[in-house]
C-alpha cells in the first residue's frame, strides 16, 4: 500500500512506524503537519491509499480527511480524548494504559476506532514510556489497523453505542496550576509523579533561588533529608531538593522564557543555575538503589556499565565521567563488558544544548567531540575482553558510532538508529570512518550517511549494523542482555574470539592507525565548528530551541 505519514515532527514514533511499515513492504512517505497547502500537495503527488498520523499537534484539514481515510494515533485507550492523554495517566498513577488508532473526524479523537492495543505503564518518566511501552502498543495497533484497512472488509467501530466498555471523556490540557509542586506539603512519591508526568515537555514550573524555572525529570533520593523545599546537594550535574518527607533529584532545568525573549532550553541543573547556585556538597551514589546516571555492576565474569543521560545527549562532562567509569571497569577481572543495557536512549552524541549555552560554542563543540572520541577510542582499543553495546532504546549520530565501537551491538526490537550527522550540518567523528564501513561496507556506509534516514533494528541486522535483536518489552531488556552476556562469557569459544579480535585490531592498526581516522575526521569538524558561517551553528540553534531549521 501507499502510506503517507503525517506528523508534527519526524519524531521517534514516526521514525519507528516509517521503519516498521517499510519492513512490511509498504511504500511510505512523510509529510510534516501544520502547512495545510504542503500537505494537500503531498496528497496529490503521492496519491496515498491511507494517511497515518502518529503524532499531531494540529488538526488535519477537513478536505484531506473527508477525501481519504486518515488514521490518527491517540496515546490513550478508546474513549479517552484530549491533548494531554499520557500526562494525565502518569499524573494519576495509572498502571495500565493503551493506544487507539481512530479515523479523523470533525471532533478531535472522536472518530471510529480501527484498532487498539493496551500496555503496562510502569512508574517512569513520560518520554521514556512514550518511546517504550506506548510506542510498542502504537506499532501493534497501527499494523493491525493497516491490515484491517487492507482487507477491505473491516468496519471501524464507533466510540459509543451498545457494548462499548470504555469511559467516554475528553480531558483538558494538563495545566501548570495542576502540575505545580507544593514542596512544604507534598511527599517524594507525589512530587516524582508530577515530574514524570511533565517530562520531557512541558516540565513543571517552579521557583528556584528567586527565579522561575521549568523542572524536567526527577528521581527519588534514598537517604538525604532536609527542610522541605531546601536544596541539599548535587550529583552528576543534578540538584537534590527536599520534599515534605524525603528528597528528589532534579537532573535538568529550563529557564522560563521572558516575554518577547528568545526560546529557552533545558540544561543540566548545575550548569543552568551556574554562579547563582550556592555551594552544596557533592553527594556520590553509595548504595545500589541511589540514583545515578552511570552505574557499574558485575555478574561473575560479566561487567555491566549502565548509563542514562537525558535525551541521550552526552556533554564533555558526561563523556569524561563515562570514560573514567569505563577505565575502572577495565580494571576488573571480567571477560565480557556490556555498555548500556538501560531503557530509552542509548546515546544521541554530543550535547547540543550544553554547547549552545557555552560562552564559546565552537570551543565547547571541540571539547565535546574530543571527549566522546576519547571514550570511543577506549572501547575500540579494548582487546582483552569482549565488549557489547546493549541498546534498549534509540541512538543517533555519534551515539550510534559509540555503539559500533563495541565488538557486538545488541538492540531491543523496535529500536531506531540514525547513523548519520548530515542533518546537523556535520561530517561527524567518533571514528565512524573506521567503524561504519568495517561493519556495513563502503557503499552502505555512504548510503546511510547521505540518505540520513532512520534504520529499524531489523534492517540494521540485515545490513550488519546490529548483531542481535532482542524481542522483549523495555522493562525486560536489561535482564535479557545481562543473561545473554553471561552465556557469551561462559561460552568455550570466548577465548578464541577475544584473541582473534586482538589480532584483527592489530592488523587494522598496521594498515591505518586509528589516530589517522580521527585526525582526518576532526580536520573537517574543526572547520565546521570554528567557521561561524558553517550551517552547523544555525542548525544547532534551531534544534535546541525547537524552531524550524534553515534546511540542509
Query: Which positions ≥6 away from 16 have C-beta within 8 Å?
Result: 135, 139, 414, 416, 454, 456
Q: Please, are residues 149 and 69 in contact by the beta-carbon 8 Å criterion? A: yes
What is residue 104's three-state secondary structure?
A: coil
Residue 76 or 349: the one with the smaller Cβ distance to ligand COA is: 349
* Cβ count near 213 (within 10 Å): 22
Grid coordinates given for 339: 555498555
How many residues can be counted in the chain?
A: 552
The distance of closest approach from Cβ of residue 376 to ligand COA in the complex, given in angstroms and rounded to an integer, is 11
Residue 15 or 382: the one with the smaller Cβ distance to ligand COA is: 15
Query: Which positions ≥6 away from 223 have C-beta within 8 Å?
Result: 287, 290
Residue 137 or 350: the one with the smaller Cβ distance to ligand COA is: 350
The distance of closest approach from Cβ of residue 352 to ligand COA in the complex, given in angstroms and rounded to an integer, is 4
Pairing mode of beta strands 302-307, 231-235: unpaired
Query: Helical H runs in 92-134?
Result: 126-129
Residue 385 or 540: the one with the smaller Cβ distance to ligand COA is: 540
Residue-wise DSSP of 44-66: HHH--SEEEEEE-SSPPPHHHHH
Residue 114 or 421: the one with the smaller Cβ distance to ligand COA is: 421
* Helix H or strand E segment including 407: none
Residue 76 or 132: the one with the smaller Cβ distance to ligand COA is: 132
Which residues sit at the interface with ligand COA, rule CB under 6 A?
11-12, 127, 200-201, 266, 311-313, 348-353, 394, 396-398, 418, 421, 424, 426
Residue 81 or 351: the one with the smaller Cβ distance to ligand COA is: 351
Residue 505 or 526: the one with the smaller Cβ distance to ligand COA is: 526
The distance of closest approach from Cβ of residue 25 to ligand COA in the complex, given in angstroms and rounded to an integer, is 24
The distance of closest approach from Cβ of residue 399 to ligand COA in the complex, given in angstroms and rounded to an integer, is 7
CA distance 458 to 464: 10
Residue 360 CA to its chain's centroid (Å): 27
Grid coordinates given for 88: 494525565
Residue 105 or 374: the one with the smaller Cβ distance to ligand COA is: 374
Residue 34 or 226: the one with the smaller Cβ distance to ligand COA is: 34
Query: Helical H runs in 119-217?
Result: 126-129, 135-151, 176-179, 188-197
Residue 3 or 397: the one with the smaller Cβ distance to ligand COA is: 397
Residue-wise DSSP of 496-512: HHHHHHHHHHHHHHHHS
CA distance 415 to 241: 34
Strand partners of residue 416: 456
Q: Please, are residues 456 and 16 in contact by the beta-carbon 8 Å criterion? A: yes
Residue 213 or 421: the one with the smaller Cβ distance to ligand COA is: 421
The distance of closest approach from Cβ of residue 311 to ligand COA in the complex, given in angstroms and rounded to an integer, is 2
The distance of closest approach from Cβ of residue 465 to ligand COA in the complex, given in angstroms and rounded to an integer, is 16
The distance of closest approach from Cβ of residue 57 to ligand COA in the complex, given in angstroms and rounded to an integer, is 13
Pairing mode of beta strands 50-55, 113-120: unpaired
The distance of closest approach from Cβ of residue 537 to ligand COA in the complex, given in angstroms and rounded to an integer, is 13
The distance of closest approach from Cβ of residue 444 to ligand COA in the complex, given in angstroms and rounded to an integer, is 20
Closest CA to 106 of 74, 160, 65, 77: 65
The distance of closest approach from Cβ of residue 426 to ligand COA in the complex, given in angstroms and rounded to an integer, is 6
The distance of closest approach from Cβ of residue 345 to ligand COA in the complex, given in angstroms and rounded to an integer, is 7
Phi-psi region of 349 (alpha: psi -120 to 50; beta: other; left: phi over 0): left
First to last CA, the chain: 30
* Helix H or strand E segment including 87: helix 85-91
The distance of closest approach from Cβ of residue 539 to ligand COA in the complex, given in angstroms and rounded to an integer, is 8
Closest CA to 10 of 400, 536, 538, 453: 453
The distance of closest approach from Cβ of residue 424 to ligand COA in the complex, given in angstroms and rounded to an integer, is 4
Residue 243 or 264: the one with the smaller Cβ distance to ligand COA is: 264
Grid coordinates given for 290: 541511589
Residue 247 or 313: the one with the smaller Cβ distance to ligand COA is: 313
The distance of closest approach from Cβ of residue 123 to ligand COA in the complex, given in angstroms and rounded to an integer, is 19
Phi first, then psi: give them for residue 16, nearest 5 degrees. -65, -40
Q: Please, are residues 98 and 116 in contact by the beta-carbon 8 Å criterion? A: yes
* Cβ count near 147 (within 10 Å): 13
Residue with cell 493503551: 98
CA distance 452 to 437: 15
Amino acid at each position: 500500500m501507499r502510506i503517507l505519514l503525517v506528523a508534527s515532527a519526524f519524531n521517534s514514533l514516526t521514525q519507528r512506524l516509517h521503519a516498521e511499515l517499510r519492513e512490511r513492504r509498504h511504500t511510505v512517505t512523510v509529510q510534516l503537519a501544520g502547512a495545510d497547502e504542503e500537505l494537500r500537495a503531498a496528497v496529490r503527488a503521492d496519491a496515498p491509499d491511507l494517511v497515518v498520523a502518529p503524532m499531531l499537534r494540529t488538526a488535519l484539514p477537513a478536505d484531506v480527511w473527508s477525501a481519504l481515510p486518515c488514521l490518527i494515533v491517540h496515546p490513550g485507550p478508546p474513549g479517552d480524548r484530549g491533548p494531554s492523554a499520557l500526562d494525565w495517566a502518569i499524573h494519576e498513577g495509572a498502571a495500565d494504559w493503551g493506544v487507539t488508532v481512530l479515523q479523523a473526524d470533525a471532533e478531535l479523537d472522536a472518530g471510529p476506532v480501527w484498532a487498539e492495543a493496551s500496555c503496562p505503564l510502569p512508574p517512569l518518566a513520560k518520554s521514556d514510556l512514550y518511546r517504550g511501552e506506548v510506542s510498542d502498543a502504537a506499532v501493534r495497533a497501527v499494523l493491525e489497523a493497516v491490515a484491517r484497512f487492507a482487507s477491505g472488509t473491516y468496519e471501524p467501530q464507533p466510540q459509543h453505542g451498545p457494548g462499548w466498555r470504555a469511559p467516554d471523556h475528553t480531558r483538558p490540557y494538563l495545566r501548570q496550576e495542576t502540575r505545580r509542586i507544593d514542596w512544604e506539603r507534598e511527599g517524594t512519591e507525589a512530587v516524582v509523579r508530577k515530574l514524570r508526568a511533565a517530562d520531557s515537555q512541558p516540565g513543571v514550573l517552579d521557583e528556584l533561588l528567586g527565579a522561575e524555572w521549568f523542572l524536567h525529570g526527577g528521581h527519588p533520593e534514598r537517604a538525604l533529608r532536609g527542610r522541605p523545599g531546601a536544596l541539599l546537594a548535587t550529583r552528576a550535574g543534578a540538584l537534590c531538593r527536599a520534599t515534605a518527607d524525603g528528597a528528589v533529584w532534579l537532573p535538568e532545568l529550563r529557564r522560563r522564557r521572558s516575554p518577547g525573549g528568545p526560546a529557552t532550553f533545558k540544561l543540566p541543573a548545575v550548569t543552568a543555575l551556574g554562579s547563582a547556585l550556592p555551594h552544596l556538597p557533592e553527594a556520590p551514589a553509595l548504595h545500589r538503589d541511589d540514583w545515578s546516571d552511570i552505574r557499574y555492576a558485575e555478574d561473575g565474569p560479566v561487567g555491566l556499565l549502565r548509563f542514562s543521560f537525558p535525551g541521550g545527549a552526552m556533554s564533555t562532562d558526561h563523556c569524561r565521567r563515562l570514560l573514567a567509569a569505563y577505565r575502572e571497569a577495565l580494571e576488573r577481572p571480567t571477560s565480557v563488558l556490556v555498555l548500556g543495557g538501560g531503557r530509552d536512549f542509548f546515546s544521541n552524541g554530543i550535547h547540543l544544548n550544553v554547547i549552545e549555552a557555552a560562552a564559546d560554542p565552537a570551543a565547547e563543540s571541540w571539547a565535546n567531540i574530543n571527549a566522546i572520541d576519547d571514550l570511543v577510542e577506549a572501547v575500540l582499543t579494548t582487546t582483552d575482553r569482549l565488549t557489547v553495546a546493549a541498546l534498549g532504546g534509540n541512538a543517533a549520530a555519534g551515539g550510534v558510532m559509540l555503539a559500533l565501537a563495541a565488538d557486538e551491538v545488541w538492540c531491543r526490537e523496535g529500536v531506531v538508529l540514525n547513523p548519520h550527522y548530515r542533518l546537523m550540518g556535520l561530517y561527524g567523528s567518533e571514528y565512524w570512518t573506521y567503524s561504519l564501513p568495517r561493519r556495513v561496507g563502503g557503499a552502505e556506509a555512504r548510503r546511510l550517511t547521505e540518505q540520513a534516514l532512520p534504520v529499524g533494528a531489523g534492517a540494521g541486522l540485515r545490513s550488519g549494523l546490529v548483531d542481535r535483536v532482542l524481542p522483549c518489552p523495555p522493562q525486560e531488556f536489561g535482564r535479557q542482555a545481562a543473561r545473554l552476556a553471561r552465556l557469551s562469557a561462559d561460552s568455550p569459544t570466548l577465548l578464541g574470539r577475544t584473541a582473534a579480535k586482538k589480532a584483527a585490531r592489530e592488523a587494522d592498526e598496521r594498515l591505518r592507525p586509528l589516530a589517522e581516522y580521527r585526525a582526518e575526521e576532526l580536520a573537517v569538524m574543526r572547520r565546521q565548528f570554528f567557521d561561524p558561517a558553517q550551517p552547523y551553528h544555525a542548525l544547532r540553534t534551531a534544534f535546541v530551541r525547537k524552531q524550524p531549521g534553515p534546511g540542509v
